[in-house]
Chain A
Amino acid sequence: MLIAGKDLRRSVRDRSAIMTAVVAPLVLAFILSSVLGDASTTLNAEFAVVDQDGGEVSQRFVGQVLESLTDQGVTITEVDSPDEARRMAEDGEVAAALVLPSGLSDAVQSFQEAEITIIANPESSVGVQIAESVAGGFAAELNSVRLSISTVLAGRGEPATVETVQELQSEAVSSSTPIGVEEQAAGSRQFDGNTFFAAGISVFFLFFTAQIGAVSLLQERKEGTLARLVAAPVARSSVVGAKAIYSFVLGALSMAILIVASHFLMSARWGDPLAVAVLVLSAVFAAMGLQSLVTTLAKTDEQAAGYGAIVGVTLGMLGGTFFPLSQAPGLMAQLSFVAPHAWIMDGLGELSGGAGTLADVLPAIAALLLFGMITGALAFVRSRSLVVA
């Protein structure tokens, strides 16, 4: 404990350790959350719309279809002319402009060809896709209505009058959709944007923080103080054990600070505190074991830091700390669980939002403890060669 206490004191004075353990992950998570955090729940797009038609169909498109998107973060600006709309798209003021030409409603109601024009802002591919999707959906709906009217008229075997078509059209539009679609998440595994980035970045940096203790052993050898530690009446295993305690405490402290800070600064929702605490401590144990083992493969502290970075970044990417594992292809999603990061993110995702319990994350905890024990035991055996002055 004496050696671990000394190392912790040195860490407080060593700004690079604080930067790695707390400041860098917090800043990065905050930036990513600010830029991308709401992307999963809101569209964040601005459209211009030109209604040259002014008829029933175009008013329905603007007043109902586009208006309904405003709840999802879409802003609609009505402009007078296609030229004005084009200028706005070119200047980047809007993601896309939708032009409803005059005669649109008449064309639709008389079963003739009609067209909605989309003017794209080339720098907003996502916004353009949204506009195309909305317009395409509306066109598909109109086509389905037209098809159903044609079917009814064909069945009656009588000629179509304007009154008949309008009557059937009203009925078709007002009828309820026969099949509804409801989105449900499988289980409770559902990160919100802020929590995902807070968790992902914290876990990513944990694997750098957890290496600091093992690397400090190599630093002590370089600085000459390891000789003094070994010459003192202290067992070598105690020196190695002290470095492990140091890593564990540093990792746990950094995670605790990041969890509390992200909760208050980014509104991250981590879930059941007890379950999160047990899962995070298991994560620190696994990270410490893995990075200690990696460190024993190196001869110098610089080399160890390099190896640790390669392992941390590779497994971090594979383990879903930068993108949800659900977005990975099937095989990759399965393969990702060779990385402890994936188990941690899986467990944190289970708890995020408050639905998950300790019981739900027991498999992840067991996997992390097993991972930590195997890598930690190998690291302990190999560390004997490091504790030589």
Chain B
Amino acid sequence: MVVAQTSPGAPSSAERATVLECRGLEKSYGDRHAVRGVGFEIVRGETYGLLGPNGAGKTTTISMICGLLARDAGEVVVDGKPLETTSTEAKNAIGYVPQDLAIYPDLTARENLTFFGRLYGMARADLKQRSSEILEITGLADRSDERTDGFSGGMKRRLNIGIALLHKPRLLVLDEPTVGVDPQSRNAILSSVETLSGEGMAVLYTTHYMEEAERLCDRVGIIDEGEVKAEGTRRELVAILGERDRVSLDASGDVNVAARSLAELEAVDEVTASDGGIDLILQDASSHLPGLLEVVASAGAQVTGVNVVEPDLEAVFLKLTGKALRD
């Protein structure tokens, strides 16, 4: 008899159960290939980010995953159930938060929740209790019987997300939920996603904000022109750049001589001298920084400012696609 051994802190197989599997997703609009062979998996408690600029194919991918859009090719399985546009069982496992507000302005917050809850087949008693919970979570309990057209933008956003959580989905799909949101509401949304993920919900999160992807996502898929260019944890993606840091020295004096001296150092990979200073690319900049400054001073240049930039997803995106995220 063989007994499987697990370490105390490692998640069990149930805890790591795959909630979303999508493979080879394809979608074209006429001659335009919007999504090309996109595929990834998300497990329970994991937040997966699709990071890409506007028009990269994020919303089209999400629309196919949620059954809003028929795909040309590929496969989507949610909570073990295959999903088509006509599926009802698989759709029950998804909570979808559209990019634009999707609430009825002439219904109250509670009426909105009740309508969508019943659409997901929730029993009346359960729905009433769950609606109250959602209203508490979203901070709308004291405004629950007011029409939503009188709500602030942030309140509408919170309700928009709350509706998706009502039926306790296994997979929460958020399509750029912070676009056009004030910083306070944005922070509240990000905190909510962190909490939900911590409670074991699988989250698919699309964004073109690098900071959000870095803060929230366990794994990130970098998508551009309908293709996932790279996928992995932040560390794995940054490794694509060789984990090199960029150091910008604001300097005066004989900058060119200093640059030549720096280039002779083993730790330094690239050096570029300019009128205002020197740019270097090297590994582990923080440990080599004192030595760098010494070399510059010895070469007769004076350093007036130092800026160390560690590689981020923006840099990864730039390297992979040749363009900035906000292009």
CB pair B85–A229 under 8 Å, yes or no, is no
CB pair B102–A233 under 8 Å, yes or no, is no
CB pair A388–B101 under 8 Å, yes or no, is no
Residue B205, interface by CB 8 Å: no
Q: A232-B116, A388-B69 are in contact. Are A227 and B98 (CB under 8 A)?
A: yes
CB pair B101–A228 under 8 Å, yes or no, is no
State how many angstroms separate the Cβ of A365 from the closest Cβ of chain B: 36
**B64-86 CB contacts (< 8 Å) to partner A:** 66-69, 85-86
Q: How far is the CA of A3 from the CA of B115 in the complex (A)?
A: 8
Picked from B86, B101, B106, the residue with its CB within 8 Å of the CB of A224 is: B101
Q: How far is the CA of A115 from the CA of B274 in the complex (A)?
A: 116
One of A5-13, A32-40, A122-130 contacting the partner: A5-13
CB pair B68–A9 under 8 Å, yes or no, is no
Residue B120, interface by CB 8 Å: yes
Which residues on A sit within 8 Å (CB–CB) of B119? 2-3, 229, 232-234
CB pair A228–B98 under 8 Å, yes or no, is yes
Q: A6-B115, A228-B98, A228-B116 are in contact. Are A233 and B88 (CB under 8 A)?
A: yes
B interface SS class: loop
CB pair B91–A225 under 8 Å, yes or no, is no
State how many angstroms separate the Cβ of A250 from the closest Cβ of chain B: 16
Q: How far is the CA of A3 from the CA of B86 in the complex (A)?
A: 18
Residue B94, interface by CB 8 Å: yes
Q: How far is the CA of A144 from the CA of B232 in the complex (A)?
A: 111
Residue A158, interface by CB 8 Å: no
CB pair A231–B88 under 8 Å, yes or no, is no
**A194-252 CB contacts (< 8 Å) to partner B:** 223-225, 227-236
**B2-58 CB contacts (< 8 Å) to partner A:** none
Q: Closest B-chain residue to A389, C-beta based?
A: B68
Q: Closest B-chain residue to A232, C-beta based?
A: B119
Q: How far is the CA of A80 from the CA of B140 in the complex (A)?
A: 84
Picked from A2, A14, A227, A235, the residue with its CB within 8 Å of the CB of B115 is: A2
CB pair B101–A231 under 8 Å, yes or no, is no
CB pair B104–A225 under 8 Å, yes or no, is yes
Which residues on B sit within 8 Å (CB–CB) of A227? 68, 96, 98, 100, 102
Q: Closest A-chain residue to B121, C-beta based?
A: A233
Q: How far is the CA of A370 from the CA of B69 in the complex (A)?
A: 34
Contact code string A1-34 (vs B, CB < 8 Å = 1, else 0): 0110010011001100000000000000000000
Q: Closest A-chain residue to B173, C-beta based?
A: A231
CB pair B104–A10 under 8 Å, yes or no, is yes
Which residues on A sit within 8 Å (CB–CB) of B104? 6, 10, 223, 225
In the A-B complex, the 5 residue pairs with the smallest Cβ-Cβ separation, listed nearest first, are: A233-B88, A224-B102, A224-B100, A231-B96, A233-B91
20 pairs from A and B in contact (CB 8 Å cutoff): A2-B115, A2-B118, A9-B107, A13-B106, A225-B103, A227-B68, A227-B96, A228-B102, A228-B116, A230-B68, A230-B85, A231-B66, A231-B67, A231-B91, A232-B116, A233-B121, A234-B88, A236-B85, A388-B69, A389-B69
